[in-house]
Structure 1
């Protein structure tokens, strides 16, 4: 016997809304279907022609029952009213008398056509023919109609659209009003983590769950049935963690042993082991995309970051309950795999760099390395320090060479040690202890260098003066040797004095300059950044006054302002110096109008003192955080922005450095005689101190005892100190930058970012030799090197008879033709050298590095790296093909090797 059709409340409502407007006042509706609604739904209201009509529903299976129900409705329930009686049941029309049929709408029982009702609910003209046979779907659509109604479907309601709308309405999966089909594995797994979605799915009737699962498998892939089975089993929240765990199990060497334990975790949701592969692939695909989103950053990145870690930590918990943790220790996705690799790296830190570097590569290969950024970076920093420890240690040689080497190498050691001292974010005790041991080895070696430097400093100080610097750049000569050259030919440098900035802080700040806007420069005769020697003892009132006066001096702000103005007046330039409080803007101003006015004046040299670092040593930065970024220095970002807007070069300089206090909190000051400051006193030198005397000693009657050990102090505990004789305190960093769209001043050259870090930091295959192992070029007053052969990043000129790819390019016919259309094109050797440098570097270099390669080959200064790269683009990008282009918002030059070959080197080996 065929199943009797059923009609619920919504089906009856739609039927009445259709029939009653043309019922000519009839109040009896016979429905040829059994009632599928509940008893509580037998009375309701419908709107007909804008008016509310009360409806009563009754079930009757005989003509007499129908007649009796109609009599009671008209005489007892609603005599003389307009309410409607709906009678459901299966009484054939030919058994009904004509008197009863005369009261009924259409004078006969009305059939409930679910397909027609669904069409009407969606406002569709027609229905997907496949849906007519799927009564479960039609029933579900009638039952699940949302309060606002189904969205309009247009001419045809397709099966896909109907199912998408049903999923959204019943289980919260997707958007029922979306125009496109936006369901995929990502959406499905994301839905599985919602609090209500899987529960609602579990509550659906079996036939609906089966039909939806079948369709979702067609749309999203083979992972859907397993995921939905987990949801139906009340474990939807574990769908993605189990997928990650399945991926780990399938990839582990003991997959057969782990498979049974994994099966117990899935339970009855796992139909067969054959589906594990596709399910694991879908889950890891979702997680990989989330990891990429997290790496991209922003609000969505932060959300993806937390989602990934929550899922994978849960996967590790499940693995532990199934005793799978040990088998999955090497997995590339699970957090336990990352922790295992991190511990392996930590264990290797007690040996030579080779095994640690291999462990670092293994750690970086883990998919969570990009999410655990700080932990991965600290591990990389630890390996860098291990490489430094493995380099030969040479004697300092001279004060000038020592401070330069500190700026170029040992200052980076201090930065790395500070980063590592902050501890690992994982709080793993094994990792922390390994870092602690490594830091101890580094500090031991640094103290040896400081002790050696202190002895050289004591000898040098006895006779060194501004007239006889003995190869060192003195702090009082910085304005003459660095600022004045920037002021030639109408230059207007902004001189920023960061009180207390040591070399480790300087290299970190320099790395934060946006290379799209700024180009770092150094004197053309120098191989690296400038470093000066502070006045002694290394105090602000002595060193800063000497810096700003351009001569040995001592005093406060009045002395500094007068000396700064006098220095520039001798050079026929006006100058103004702003101290703390004088450059900060009032309400509504980020910077003081007086400062902005001075920066806008082409005649004025501007100096600004920033005290943030020095102030933090006394009462800020609890525990001495290692890293200082531009945003950490009050108003530095605003000052750089103002200088950029005014087209001014910037000279970033310190007056002295500092050491941080990383000793035990209970350690008190050293008791000594003649204490004058935190790190210096009068009297004979004791252990950890050096006696300094001579014309450069501007306190204590020209003779002091200064601490060279970083853990020695004479006063109450602070975050850090200065006044002593360590390399970190005596070295004065001097950094220069020009706006990237302006020309590099004469006598200066771009410093590629690739050339700033020492070799041990960059990770060369062989340890870098310290600079002291090679004789330094002779220096004149102020420590200026004589011109020397360029070395380092770029290769030596090719041997005779060897033609490089760059030379082949500039000799090619396409290049010669293109060059005719480019005005003022750079010389062929410059272009060839730039291309060869890019090819050697793997196709990517900074604009400054590309320009420096050209300059090294031709001897001609490329004074605007951005413009040089633009000329290369015009020469090489024939017909719009991007052989060479600026990427990463202008920070990087990218050379497409294959396009270069196709355009210029066709027929040559690739």
Structure 2
């Protein structure tokens, strides 16, 4: 039996709006349909040609009932007005008398054509033919019309457009006026997490839910039915968590057991087991994309991270209720899987590095490793310390070699210890205890090194002098050995003294400077030696009043700010340069100024060398830092970013130097100071040395017994602590004044603004060459260092292998699609000999020589396609013997040579930090040089 036609209020309104303008004054409308509206909707107003007409609706099932209703309306309800009586019912026209039909609009009952009404509502000339047969859709469109009406559809209302509009109006999926929404699994799962959307879907009539489900499955994929079934069941918020669990269950070794438990969570929402795999795939695809968004950072990344973690933590809770947690412990997506891998790693920290490194690879392979970046990096740091403990400990038999080694390696141990000491965010006591044990082992080894260094220092200080430093750079020689070379040929260095900066702080600050803005440089090394950072030896005791005054005076000195200003000015005056030194309060800008105008004026003056003293690190040793972190980034140092920006704007190189280092107090909170005689400071005193102390005497000791003869200090005598847990005064966050490596070592770092030529006698320091091998690990340590030198002779335009080229033998890159042809040399050499490259050279003025280009390509391929700009320049320099004094410009020239027709064969990525070589594009652009 055919369904009886029905008409609700909106259908009647549309019918009246279409018929009354041509009704010739008739006020009776017979509708061939049953009334589908409620009793409260039987009286309403409709606009006809801009005039409001009152409407009364009644149901009648007989000719007599219709006649009585019309008589009542014209005599009792509205005898003289123009209100309209609408009579709904299924009385055939041939049963109505002609007198009654004469009062009716069109003189007959009017059929309610849903399709026509929908066309009118959308302002469409025609309907998609498929919609005519879908009564559920037409009825839903009539019932769901928004208060502002449906958007205009144009000539044809398509089924897709109608369904999109219906979804937006019914369940809040999209916008009725916005057709740009990309309906896919991401959109559907995102909608499932809204508070109202799934509830509104559950309240829809069953036929409408079924129709929408079928269409969404066609549009978004096979996950739609299961997701919408969960929404209809009131569990839309768990759609994504259940999808994540489904993925984990299908992948676990005991998939059958896990699948059974999972079925209890899904209930009847899961139509069949075959629907589980596509549903799991769609859900994990959404989460993977959210994880990628979270990696992007910014507010969008923060929101994505919060969404992912909320979903996956809920998945873990659901797994727990179904007793699935144990079966899914190895999953790559669930937080419980990440925590299980982290616990496995920390359990391996008591042994050799091998198992821990394997566990670290498993941890990094987990999809949440990037979202738990701090925890992952802390675990990586623990493995680094384990490698250091397992590695050989080379004895440093001189003070000079010891402080250099501390800056190159041991200071990184202190940095790693500080990272680990902050603790893991998981607050897992087992993880924390494993880190605590590892820190204890590291501190024991560090104390051995400090004890050995203290003994060497005691011998060295007895005869140390500027004339016989035994290979050590003295702090009073830093200006002469590092700042003055930067000032040659009109250079105007900014000398930034970060009071109390130890080696661990220095290496992290250097890593935090953007390569797009700054290039780190070091003095060029003699042939056969690798250039490295400078490290100086502080004055003793390692106090600001002694070491900083000596640093800034360029000679042993003691005093405060006046002594420092006078010494700094006198040092540069001897070199025929003007100089000015700013202390705290002198360089900080007043209201409205980030830096003091006097400082900016000095930086703009080409005649002046400028010095600035920043006390942030030393000040933090008293009470600690508000954020509780032991590590330092450039943004953590007051005004450092502004000072560096001002120096870069003025084109000045920067010498970043300390006056002494410091140690942090990591002893138990209840421990007190060591009781001793002759206490002069937190870490030094007078009197005989006891355990953990060393007695120091000689010209480098500037206080407590020093004698002056003929203007020259003969030396003093002190007892200084070398153990990190020994102090003589009240507890602070950190201390200096002692004889440990961290306190005595003075880091000396130099930078030039990126794009500015490196001063003569200096060379760029590749970021790859800064960290020690134990820090980089197996894969990181495999990154290439400087390639073996090739025979010289390339003058900038000669072909590699010809008269101006070389026949270097170098490690070959092992890539399946890029490898050298037998007898033709390396891939780099083949590339620069190819016809496309030779043609491209003709259009690039002052291009780097073929030998340099070939060396760079080979170095990049060996490194997996990524190196820092400085490492790229170093590879070219090692191959040609020619210093590349502007790495950024050198990389730009390489881009012009290799990026034919704009294809990015080689480009700067990661904000200028990395040069990336696309090996596949290299093969395509230079097939003659790279074809197998």
Q: How many residues of Structure 1 are paired with residues of Structure 2 in the alignment?
A: 888
CA distance, structure 1, for counterparts of residue 920 and residue 128 of structure 2? 51
8 Å contact kept, 1:755–1:793: no
Partner residue, 2:898: 876
CA distance, structure 2, for counterparts of residue 435 and residue 858 of structure 1? 47
Residue 586 of structure 1: CA displacement? 1.1
Partner residue, 2:684: 680
Residue 587 of structure 1: CA displacement? 1.2
The alpha-carbon distance between structure 1 residues 90 and 273, as it changes in their structure 2 partners (threshold 3 A), is same
Bigger RCO of structures 1 and 2 (CA < 8 A, at least 6 apart): 1
Pick the aligned partner of 1:625 from 622, 629, 632.
629
For each residue in 1:75-127, what CA deviation from the matched residue of structure 2 results, as whole angstroms up to 9, or x when unmatched? 22223222211111112222222222222222221111111111111111110
1:557 pairs with 2:579: no
Partner residue, 1:541: 545
The alpha-carbon distance between structure 1 residues 207 and 908, as it changes in their structure 2 partners (threshold 3 A), is closer
Partner residue, 2:649: 645
Matches within 5 A, 1:731-770: 731-764=745-778
Residue 39 of structure 1: CA displacement? 0.8
SS in 1 for 2:928: coil
Partner residue, 1:730: 744
Residue 905 of structure 1: CA displacement? 5.4
Pick the aligned partner of 1:668 from 668, 672, 684.
672
Structure 2 residues not aligned, in runs of 5+: 706-715, 791-807, 811-822
SS in 2 for 1:700: coil
Residue 172 of structure 1: CA displacement? 0.9
8 Å contact kept, 1:228–1:236: yes
8 Å contact kept, 2:835–2:928: no
Residue 273 of structure 1: CA displacement? 0.4
CA distance, structure 2, for counterparts of residue 86 and residue 56 of structure 1? 6
For each residue in 1:768-818, what CA deviation from the matched residue of structure 2 results, as whole angstroms up to 9, or x when unmatched? 9xxxxxxxxxxxxxxxxxxxxxx9443565449983222333334443343
Structure 1 residues not aligned, in runs of 5+: 769-790
CA distance, structure 2, for counterparts of residue 6 and residue 815 of structure 1? 77
1:19 pairs with 2:19: yes
1:706 pairs with 2:720: yes
8 Å contact kept, 1:496–1:608: yes
8 Å contact kept, 2:329–2:340: yes
1:601 pairs with 2:615: no
For each residue in 1:209-234, what CA deviation from the matched residue of structure 2 results, as whole angstroms up to 9, or x when unmatched? 11111111101101111111111111
**Deviates most, 899-908 or 416-425:** 899-908
For each residue in 1:485-540, what CA deviation from the matched residue of structure 2 results, as whole angstroms up to 9, or x when unmatched? 00000001111100000000000000011101111000002621111001110001
1:144 pairs with 2:144: yes
Q: Structure 1-normalised TM-score?
A: 0.95
For each residue in 1:679-721, what CA deviation from the matched residue of structure 2 results, as whole angstroms up to 9, or x when unmatched? 1111111111111111111121211111111111111111111
1:614 pairs with 2:618: yes
Residue 623 of structure 1: CA displacement? 8.5
CA distance, structure 2, for counterparts of residue 292 and residue 766 of structure 1? 24
Residue 338 of structure 1: CA displacement? 0.5
1:84 pairs with 2:106: no
CA distance, structure 1, for counterparts of residue 922 and residue 152 of structure 2? 54
Pick the aligned partner of 1:832 from 843, 851, 854.
854
CA distance, structure 2, for counterparts of residue 873 and residue 294 of structure 1? 31
**Deviates most, 722-731 or 621-630:** 621-630
**Deviates most, 494-503 or 859-868:** 859-868
SS in 2 for 1:385: helix
Partner residue, 1:776: none
CA distance, structure 2, for counterparts of residue 378 and residue 142 of structure 1? 60
Partner residue, 2:175: 175
CA distance, structure 1, for counterparts of residue 656 and residue 416 of structure 2? 22
CA distance, structure 1, for counterparts of residue 628 and residue 547 of structure 2? 23
Partner residue, 1:30: 30
Residue 638 of structure 1: CA displacement? 0.5
SS in 1 for 2:848: coil
Residue 766 of structure 1: CA displacement? 11
CA distance, structure 2, for counterparts of residue 178 and residue 596 of structure 1? 53
1:695 pairs with 2:692: no
Partner residue, 1:571: 575
1:715 pairs with 2:715: no
CA distance, structure 2, for counterparts of residue 874 and residue 575 of structure 1? 42
The alpha-carbon distance between structure 1 residues 275 and 796, as it changes in their structure 2 partners (threshold 3 A), is farther
Partner residue, 2:877: 855
1:217 pairs with 2:217: yes
Partner residue, 2:795: none
SS in 1 for 2:350: coil
SS in 1 for 2:284: helix
Residue 556 of structure 1: CA displacement? 0.8
CA distance, structure 1, for counterparts of residue 282 and residue 661 of structure 2? 54
The alpha-carbon distance between structure 1 residues 902 and 200, as it changes in their structure 2 partners (threshold 3 A), is closer
Residue 152 of structure 1: CA displacement? 1.0
Pick the aligned partner of 1:866 from 885, 888, 912.
888
8 Å contact kept, 1:624–1:719: no
For each residue in 1:330-360, what CA deviation from the matched residue of structure 2 results, as whole angstroms up to 9, or x when unmatched? 0111111111100110111111111100000
8 Å contact kept, 1:34–1:59: yes
CA distance, structure 1, for counterparts of residue 835 and residue 374 of structure 2? 50
8 Å contact kept, 1:623–1:661: no
CA distance, structure 2, for counterparts of residue 722 and residue 100 of structure 1? 109
1:344 pairs with 2:348: no
Matches within 5 A, 1:43-62: 43-62=43-62
Partner residue, 2:841: 819
8 Å contact kept, 2:201–2:209: yes
The alpha-carbon distance between structure 1 residues 816 and 159, as it changes in their structure 2 partners (threshold 3 A), is closer
Residue 755 of structure 1: CA displacement? 0.5
Partner residue, 1:380: 380
Residue 672 of structure 1: CA displacement? 1.1
8 Å contact kept, 1:516–1:740: yes
CA distance, structure 1, for counterparts of residue 789 and residue 256 of structure 2? 56
The alpha-carbon distance between structure 1 residues 624 and 220, as it changes in their structure 2 partners (threshold 3 A), is closer
CA distance, structure 2, for counterparts of residue 47 and residue 126 of structure 1? 24
Residue 624 of structure 1: CA displacement? 5.3
CA distance, structure 1, for counterparts of residue 842 and residue 61 of structure 2? 98
8 Å contact kept, 2:523–2:763: yes
Partner residue, 2:156: 156
The alpha-carbon distance between structure 1 residues 173 and 898, as it changes in their structure 2 partners (threshold 3 A), is closer
CA distance, structure 2, for counterparts of residue 64 and residue 415 of structure 1? 98
CA distance, structure 2, for counterparts of residue 27 and residue 2 of structure 1? 31
SS in 2 for 1:349: helix
SS in 2 for 1:148: coil
Residue 874 of structure 1: CA displacement? 2.6
The alpha-carbon distance between structure 1 residues 170 and 176, as it changes in their structure 2 partners (threshold 3 A), is same
Partner residue, 2:108: 108
